[in-house]
Structures are given as C-alpha cells and as structure tokens.
Chains A and B, each alone.
Chain A
Amino acid sequence: MKCFEYMGKEIFARFGIPVPQGRMVLKPEDAATVAAEIGKPVVIKSQVLSGKRGKAGGIKFADTPEAAAQAAAEVLSMTVQGLPVQRILVEEKLKIDAELYVAITIDGAAKAPVVIASAKGGMDIEEQDEADIVKTHLDVFLGLPAFLAKDLARKIGLRGNLAKEFSDILSKMYCILNHKDAELVEINPLVISGDHLIAADAKLTIDDSALYRQKDIPFVDEDMTEVEKMAKAAGVGSFVELGGDIAIMANGAGITMGTLDMVQLFGGQPANFMDAGGGTGVEGTAKALRILLAQNPKVILINIFGGITRCDDVANALAQVKQNIGIPVPVVVRMVGTNEEAGVRILKEVGIDAYRDMKTAAQMAVALAKRGEGA
C-alpha cells in the first residue's frame, strides 16, 4: 500500500527524520491558515499517489497566505496523471543548496534489504548514470549498523555534520522499514539546506501482507478504480481493470496472465486481470463473479485448474450466482483438477458446459464476444 507524502512525513517525524514544517489540508482557506502559521513562503504540493507531480504542475509556490489560498485552489481543481487532487500539503519553502537521493527497499533476488543512495537526487533518478549510484545490500540479521551508515555517507561524498546527519537519517529509515513493515522507504530529494539535511519528500510503501499488524497506518486506496475497490473489499486475491469486454477469472497469477495472453492472441480484449487466489471457497468465488458482472462484460471466461482451489466450490458459486442474481451474459468455463467431476456435474445442472482445454475455452470466449458486438 502506497502512503501519501503527508502520511510518510508524519511517520518520518515520529521516527526523528527532519521534515519541513507543514500540514495536510483539504480546503484553500485552510492553506492560508497554515501559511500564516508558518509565516514564511510556502510550497503547495498535491497529494496523489503518482510521481512526476512537479512536471504535471501539481506543485506550486506562494509567498503570502492569500497567494497560498489561491495556489491551493488551483491545485485542488487539478488532476495529476489522471488522479483528481483531493488533498494538499502546505509546507515551508526550503532553501535548497543541493539534492541527494536515498532509499531502502527489499531486493527479492538478493533476499536482502538494499540501500540505494546518490549525491545526485531530484527528478529523473531512474535515468542517472549507474556510476553515480551507491547500492549496498544489508544482512537481515545485522540490520543497518552505524558503521555501515557512516560509510555510505562517505561513499556519496558527504563530510562533517552532513555525513553525521545522513547516517542518522539512514538508520531511522531502516527502523521504519523494519517496524512499519515497509517495502520501500524513499527520500527524493533529501535536501542539503545550509549545514543540515531535510527530507523534502517521503515515499513509503507498506507491505500489504503486513497491514494486519500496522493498524495505526490509515488505509489508502486512491490509485484503485471503483471496481478495483470493490474487489479489494471483497478480498479477491488480485484485480486490475483493463477496459476490454471479456471478463476473466482464473486461479493463480501465472495462469491468469496466461489466459489474458491467449485471449489477446485470438483477437479478444480482456476486461480485467483477476487472480481469484488459491483455495477460494464458494463465498469468495461468488463475490468475485459479482465483481466481473459489475464491469458489464460481453462474456465471462473462467479458467480453473484446481489444486488447492476445488472445482466443486467454483461450480457451486457459479450456480448460486446464476440462481440468485442471474448472469445476463454467456459464461465460458474451463475446469480441470481437484474435484473436477463434481464441478462439471454441478455446472451441467444449471446449464453451463465446461471445457477441459484452455485453448478451446479462450477461442470460444473470443467468438462469443465478437458475436455480441454484431448483435
């Protein structure tokens, strides 16, 4: 789960990482109040879960509370990368002497947390020369000892008080990674302002699997569509809306991707990616089906290879939804694996034929969607 910048900065502040003075507000008049409290020129930053806000015009400056209110009104009426701005962060404008980059994330391949730092922060960090980026993997049992943090400061060319503050911030970032179950703690830019460092931005991604033990962090779902939010609320494994007309459900991320690939090969357009997850029972499957229907597809394609998921559970759910709320579009089912015979029998009872072969099912779904277009 990605956190808004203001949430990230609140957590940074709690762990002792210096952040600019400021506050999140929802209304232009509150922006003026905060600007007056700060008593200095301010920056108005749109709070959306997207990078490149500056380039999109989602960051503005103001010298007076009146100007802050006006800038806030402008930013609050914008959309940034397709996301409407609903919140803004009003904070003191920093004197910027230089910009650094620093992040800690999890490198799955190396099975370790990794620190990434660069003396050249700011925009376009991805395109920066490899030689200017320092990467150090951490031993999960050692964490980030002070000597390593100090050495990283040295490696990006910091000296004196700046080196001390940098290694201190790095240690605190690692604490956040650990205690808040973060997958990513990133500061870009980490600003050099005189003889001090200050986090001008905060990017924090919390591990979805650990949200159950991070209850003090508010849930953020802003980068999801309405149907995606429905899917999340229903506990569907994984769901992404894609805009086509063939609604797809499969069990397992790999087979779902394989099903999408195949539908596209035969000339069809998937409406979504839905990995219903392993071991989904009748109730979960029924919810998943309702979400597919909410997209108003021309056809529903269900591809089940039962392992931990049982075919009879999926079939029962399908029969239940058909009887209770009706399924107004053709349903193509491919079903093999655990409890296959029972599943196929249950489907037959409600008038749905199941295919054993994924290719034929995908072709049939595409053909039915095309027929739907002609009608």
Chain B
Amino acid sequence: MAILVNGASSVLIQGITGKQGSFHFRQMRAFGTNIVAGVAPGKGGSRFEDIPLYETVQEACEHHTIDATVLFIPAAFCKDAALEAIEAGIKVIVIITEHIPVQDELIIVNRAKLKEAVIIGPNTFGMASWKCKLGILPNVAFSPGPVGVVARSGTLTYEIVGSLTNVGIGQTSVIGLGGDRVPGSSFVDMLKRFEVDPDTKCVVLVGEIGGNAEEEAAEFIKTMSKPVVAYLAGKSAPPGKRMGHAGAIIERGKGTYEGKVKALTAAGAQVATFPYEVVEKVQTLLGHA
C-alpha cells in the first residue's frame, strides 16, 4: 500500500511539545500514525498526553524500536537534532523545518547518505502513506489508492492530491521532497521506489522551475514501466533567486519551464498545464474517465 512507511511503522516526534509539534502530533495521530515516543529536552521521564517523553533520541531508541522520526525543531537547532536521529540509526527522517542554513543541510544530507538513512525535506510537508502521516499535510487531502505522488512544493501538492481524492482516486504514498536548495531525497530516489511498489499504478510528479531535478527525473522516467503525469509550477513566475555566473554555469540553460516540459515529454511523461488537468490525465490513465 505504500513506500517507506505504513500503518505498522513506529514513529518518534522530535519537538513534540512545541506549538507546531503538539498541533501536528494530534493531527498525525488522528490520521492513524503509530506515534510511540517524543523527544523534549528537559521533560524526559514525563508524558505528553499518553506519549512517553525522552531527553534524547538515543534514549527513546533504547526503549522503543523507531522506524521513522519527524522533526519540529527550530532551524538553528535542526542540524544537531537531525544528526542525533541519524546517529541513533533511524532510517526515515522527516524534517519539516524551513530556513535551515545551507551549510547545515549539506552536513545533514551527506551524513544521512553515509548511514543509509532517507531524509524527507527539509522544508517539506512531509509524507503520507496508508495510516501513516509524517508531517503537516492536511488529513482530508489524502486517501488510500493506486497513485504515487512526489513533489517539490507543498500546498500545490495538497491542491492536486485533494482533487484526486475528490474524484475518488487515492494514493499509495504522497512524498514532499521539500523546497530547499539541498533536499535530502530526489525525484529519482522516490520514482525508483514507486516503480517497484506493487500497489502503485501510476505516478504524479509535481515540479517547478529552477534547478535540474526534473531533468534528472526525466532520464529515469525513460526506464520506467509505470506511467507518469507531471505538473510544473512557475510558467509565468519570475525566475527565482539566481546565483549569477556560477549558478548559470552549473545549470547551463537547464531549469527553465520549457526545458523541463521538453525533457519530461521526451521521456514519455504527460505534462499538465494546470493543476486540475493532472486529475483528468490520471483518470484517463487509470480508466476512470
């Protein structure tokens, strides 16, 4: 029914007692997520509602088998919190926090790669699978079904997933890669998982202008057996923050709306011009029309 996690996964929340952490703890639990522990320095040994709290991730891992952790940690402390989770051996780490300094992100994602942990984010809505939501996407948007969704931007994904749900098309997993310069996971990482997931029949890719993640995805889509529908935001938007010469040299004309559409179309993906067209295309592919 899903990639990375499912209803049987045991979940830790780092920063569970904070404003965002406590609000989304309740939302996640209402979704069905099996939350087994929380980390809240200074409050170890007590409980938050009925959830046991620990001083450190290591301590939580000594008392529970943890499959995944979600971080609701302020940007300045996120590097340490993420490294703590990686070193404790947790394999799925969801970092919701935005505005993490890019140097900190580099350390986090490279350390995770070394320890074979999957990072979702930073600056992401997280992910949802069958009975397991790790993050902040609204519960009402998601429903179980055959479509895998992987996205760079959050609210646009709610838009598309919500529309799919409204017409009765559910999802295996919905993954938010995050909007930062150095995301922990790429489109290709997730497309590989959807390709081998027996329940995923078709994949929706939500991209945007800038960077070359969509161009890389296009290369992998060429090899996929499952159909892919893509939507790219930013057709009319001003180009994002450009980095001058060096950025231009790395990208060499990649990153434009037209270039991405061309790469994806050539790879066999169907590209929707507007969010609501994604639903029409998926309906046709699944024979729901």
Which of A's residues lie within 8 Å of B, judged by CB? 51, 101, 103-109, 111-114, 116, 125-126, 130, 133, 135, 139-141, 178, 181, 183-184, 186, 188, 203, 205, 207-210, 212-213, 240, 242, 250-258, 260-262, 264-265, 270, 273, 277-279, 305-308, 336-338, 358-359
Question: In the assembled complex, which residues on chain A have CB atoms less than 8 Å from the CB atom of B98?
Answer: 277-278
Cβ of B141: which chain A residues have Cβ within 8 Å of it? 337
- Report whether B246 and A260 are in contact in the complex, using a CB–CB cutoff of 8 Å: no
Q: Does B206 contact A (CB under 8 A)?
A: yes
Alpha-carbon separation in the docked complex, A337 to B163 (Å) = 12
Query: With A126-B248, A183-B102, A209-B102 as given contacts, are A253 and B159 in contact (CB-CB < 8 Å)?
Result: no
- Chain A nearest CB: distance from B175 CB in Å? 14
Let me know if B137 and A255 touch, CB within 8 A.
Answer: no
Q: Which residues of B contact A51 (CB under 8 A)?
A: 244-245
Among B99, B109, B113, B245, contact of A203 (Cβ-Cβ < 8 Å): B245
Which chain A residue lies CB-closest to B76? A212
Residues on A with C-beta less than 8 A from B233 are 253-255, 257-258, 261
29 contacts between A and B (CB under 8 A): A51-B245, A105-B243, A105-B250, A107-B250, A108-B182, A111-B109, A135-B249, A135-B250, A141-B110, A178-B103, A186-B246, A203-B244, A205-B243, A209-B101, A251-B155, A252-B155, A252-B156, A253-B153, A255-B153, A255-B159, A260-B237, A261-B237, A273-B238, A278-B98, A279-B20, A307-B125, A308-B20, A337-B140, A338-B138
- B210 to chain A: closest CB distance in Å? 9
Could you say which of B101, B136, B212, B276 contacts A307, with CB atoms under 8 Å apart? B136
Q: Are B103 and A210 in contact (CB under 8 A)?
A: yes
A140 contact from B110, B137, B140, Cβ within 8 A: B110
B182 (CB) vs chain A CBs: closest residue: A108
B148-167 contact mask (Cβ, 8 Å, vs A): 1 or 0: 00011111111100100000
Residues of B within 8 A of A307 (CB): 125, 136-138, 154-155, 158
Identify the closest chain A residue to B114 (Cβ): A141
| Beta-carbon contacts under 8 Å, B105-130 to A | 106-107, 109-110, 113, 125
Flag if A258 contacts B275 (CB, 8 Å): yes
Which chain B residue shows the least CB distance to A141?
A: B110
In the assembled complex, how far is the CB of residue A121 from the closest CB belonging to chain B, in whole angstroms?
A: 10
Q: Given contacts A207-B103, A337-B140, A337-B158, is CB(A184)–CB(B182) below 8 Å?
A: no
Most buried by A among B109, B154, B155: B155
If the complex has contacts A109-B212, A209-B99, A254-B156, are A186 and B162 also in contact, measured as CB distance less than 8 A?
A: no
Bound CA span A347–B243, Å: 41
Q: How many whole Å from A118's CB to the nearest CB in chain B?
A: 9
B247 on the A face (CB < 8 A):
yes
Of A103, A139, A140, A258, most buried by chain B (CB within 10 Å of CB) is A258
Contacts of A205 on B, CB cut-off 8 Å?
Answer: 243-244
Q: How far, in whole Å, are A277 and B97 apart by their CA atoms in the complex?
A: 12
Q: Within 8 Å CB of B209, what residues of A?
A: 257
User: What separation, in Å, do the CA atoms of A258 and B180 have in the docked complex?
Assistant: 18
Q: How far is the CA of A251 from the CA of B179 in the complex (A)?
A: 13
Complex Cα gap A125–B140 (Å): 50
Q: At the interface, is chain A mostly helix, strand, loop or mixed?
A: mixed
Are A112 and B106 in contact, CB atoms less than 8 angstroms apart?
yes
Q: When the two chains form their complex, are residues B106 and A111 in contact, meaning their CB atoms are under 8 A apart?
A: yes
Do the beta carbons of A105 and B234 come within 8 Å of each other? no
B87 to chain A, nearest CB (A): 14
On chain A, the residues within 8 Å of B138 by CB distance are 305-307, 337-338
Given contacts A51-B245, A133-B249, A183-B243, contact A209 B110 (CB under 8 A): no
In angstroms, Cα B237 to Cα A240, docked, is: 10
CA of A130 to CA of B251, assembled, Å: 12
Q: Is the pair B154, A126 in contact by a Cβ cutoff of 8 Å?
A: no
B110 touching A125, Cβ below 8 Å: no
CA separation between A51 and B247, bound complex, in Å? Answer: 13
Cross-chain contact A106 with B102 (CB below 8 angstroms): yes
Minimal Cβ-Cβ distance residue in A for B209: A257
CB nearest to A336 among chain B residues: B162
**In the complex the two chains form, is A261's CB within 8 Å of B236's CB?**
yes
In the complex, A104→B209 CA distance in Å? 23
Specify which of A112, A188, A209, A336 lies most central, judged by the most chain B CB atoms within 10 Å of its CB: A209
- Out of B179, B245, B250, B276, which one reaches A253, CB within 8 Å? B179
The answer to whether B245 touches A125, judged by C-beta atoms less than 8 angstroms apart, is yes
Q: Is the CB of A254 within 8 A of B154?
A: yes
When each residue 176-205 of chain B gets 1 if its CB lies under 8 Å from chain A and 0 otherwise, what string results? 000111110010000000000000000000
CA distance A89 to B27 in the complex (A): 56
- Since A51-B244, A111-B106 are in contact, a sample of 7 more A-B pairs with Cβ atoms closer than 8 Å, ordered by chain A residue number, is A106-B182, A114-B246, A207-B103, A251-B155, A252-B156, A255-B158, A258-B159
7 cross-chain pairs, A with B, having the tightest CB-CB distances, nearest first:
A254-B153, A252-B155, A254-B156, A255-B155, A210-B101, A257-B233, A108-B181
Q: Is the CB–CB distance between B75 and A257 below 8 Å?
A: no
